[in-house]
Amino acid sequence: MGYGEFYTKKSVIDNCDNQSFKVLNYEFAKDKNFVYYKPMPNANNMTIIVEQFDSKTFTLSPICSSYAKDKNHIYHYGKTAKKDDPQASYCFDFLAILKYKIELIKVNGIQDFESLFSF
């Protein structure tokens, strides 16, 4: 199922800002006002507007798909991560991300070189 198909089957899209709406992955999307969370699996196809997430600074970890952060917190599966969660710090550590991207280049070759510089 593609990202577009995933998000067009929800009612909350009617209330989002279409100009700034961006699908981040299978569980998260955002616009200039809100972050939208659709937990997986989700039998009733509900999407939740998560008002406590800051949509302007909300980003996903490039190396840990279940972690995200904004200016206030780091989140794990949509909930605030515990302060002593070592994985949470690792997922946004510059050197860890750099090492991960270098490994991608080693495995996939030079075509992934540009991704090395996008954080």
Shared domain check, 109 and 84: yes
Shared domain check, 113 and 83: yes
5, pLDDT greater than 80: no
Q: Which domain holds residue 6?
A: 1-53
Shared domain check, 17 and 38: yes
Shared domain check, 119 and 84: yes
Instruction: Give the separation between CA 63 and CA 119, rounded to whole angstroms.
Output: 10
Instruction: Give the separation between CA 39 and CA 28, rounded to whole angstroms.
Output: 8
Shared domain check, 71 and 22: no
Shared domain check, 93 and 65: yes
Shared domain check, 87 and 42: no
48: Cβ contacts below 8 Å, ≥ 6 apart = 36, 37, 38, 39
pLDDT classification of 118: cutoffs 50, 70, 90: low
Dump pLDDT digits (tens) for 68-114: 999 999 998 888 988 788 888 888 887 777 787 777 777 776 665 55
Number of domains in the chain: 2
Shared domain check, 112 and 68: yes
Shared domain check, 63 and 49: no
pLDDT of res. 4:
46
Joined tokens for residue 31: 């616009």
Shared domain check, 84 and 103: yes
pLDDT of res. 60:
93
Read off the pTM. 0.69
- At 79, is the secondary structure helix, strand, or coil? strand
Shared domain check, 82 and 39: no
Residue that is written with structure tokens 């809100």 in the block: 34
Q: Nearest CA to 53 among 66, 35, 31, 28?
A: 35
Dump pLDDT digits (tens) for 13-48: 667 888 888 888 878 889 999 998 887 766 666 778
pLDDT of res. 55:
95
Shared domain check, 119 and 68: yes
